[in-house]
Amino acid sequence: MNDLSTEERQKELKSLKSRFVLNQGAFMGVSLAGAYYLTHLLGMMDSFVQSILTWAIYIGFIHVSMVKYRDHFQDGLLSYGQGVWMGTRMGILAGIIVGAYLFLFMKVINPAYIDELIVQMQEAYLQLGLKEEEVAQMEGMFRLTANPVLMIISGVLGAGFSAFIFSLIIAIFQRRKGDPFSDAMKNIE
């Protein structure tokens, strides 16, 4: 009977850990979407300020979540792999939410965004010295890469990769290893 209750507690703890990571990822995604919307309203879309703001959100959420996860669910212990895996899962979920926001942004909030993006790409290639005929021929490829679905997929992958990179760094500082001797002695007592 006691083993069953221990098993049930472990299942409940595992469920709470998963729910915590999913909640933190969802909050991070909503925060990132809010940051994108705010920078759009302020006219700073695709700027250095937006990049700094999104990096701060990634770093802040991953750091705070690792500390809470370690202290509340892991008895103060967190391996490097657990930290990296947790941050990456949060980033993938955040990427799904940001991808949904970007789809909404491109279809409802600012449908002309893709056309503006294509014009910016064309101007950049003209400044590099390409001829207008060559740039005009590339417009079909520009439209293909500016497809909202493709941008959503790349957003999910990009957010997951960014979270993975930040998690690699943050987990170095947040990992805590237990003492194997004291762990073994707990079983004896």
pLDDT digits (tens, 9 = 90+) for 123-132: 888 888 888 8
Asked whether residue 183 is assigned to any structural domain, the reply reads: no
Segment 95-117 mean pLDDT: 85
Asked whether residue 15 is assigned to any structural domain, the reply reads: yes
Note the pLDDT tens digit of each residue in 62-93: 999 999 998 888 888 888 888 999 999 999 99
Asked whether residue 116 is assigned to any structural domain, the reply reads: no
Token code pair at residue 128:
């590099």
Instruction: From 17, 16, 22, select the one nearest 97 (Cα to Cα).
Output: 22
CA distances from 146 to 17, 38, 115 (A): 37, 22, 9
Asked whether residue 52 is assigned to any structural domain, the reply reads: yes
181 — pLDDT class (breaks 50, 70, 90): low
- Look up residue 42 and give its amino acid: L
Answer yes or no: are the C-beta atoms of 121 and 142 closer than 8 Å: yes
Asked whether residue 130 is assigned to any structural domain, the reply reads: no
Answer yes or no: are the C-beta atoms of 57 and 30 closer than 8 Å: no
Residue 24: domain span:
2-109+148-176
Percent of the chain with pLDDT over 70: 91
Residue 102 has pLDDT above 60, yes or no: yes
Range in 26-35, 55-64, 111-120, 139-148 with the lowest mean pLDDT: 139-148
Nearest-angstrom CA–CA distance, 182 and 178: 8
User: What is the reported pLDDT for 87?
Assistant: 93
Q: DSSP string spanning 19-83?
A: HHHHHHHHHHHHHHHHHHHHHHHTT-TTSHHHHHHHHHHHHHHHHHHHHHHHHHHSTT-B-HHHH
Asked whether residue 181 is assigned to any structural domain, the reply reads: no
Percent of the chain with pLDDT over 90: 36
Residue 185 has pLDDT above 80, yes or no: no
User: What is the reported pLDDT for 88?
Assistant: 94
Segment 44-62 mean pLDDT: 91
9 — pLDDT class (breaks 50, 70, 90): confident
Residue 1 has pLDDT above 50, yes or no: no
Phi-psi region of 75 (alpha: psi -120 to 50; beta: other; left: phi over 0): left
Answer yes or no: are the C-beta atoms of 36 and 47 closer than 8 Å: no
User: What is the reported pLDDT for 3?
Assistant: 58
Prediction pTM value? 0.80
Residue 112, classified by CB atoms within 10 Å of its CB into exposed (0-12), middle (13-18) or buried (19+), is exposed
Q: Tell me the average pLDDT of the chain.
A: 85
Count of domains for the chain: 1
Asked whether residue 46 is assigned to any structural domain, the reply reads: yes
Asked whether residue 67 is assigned to any structural domain, the reply reads: yes
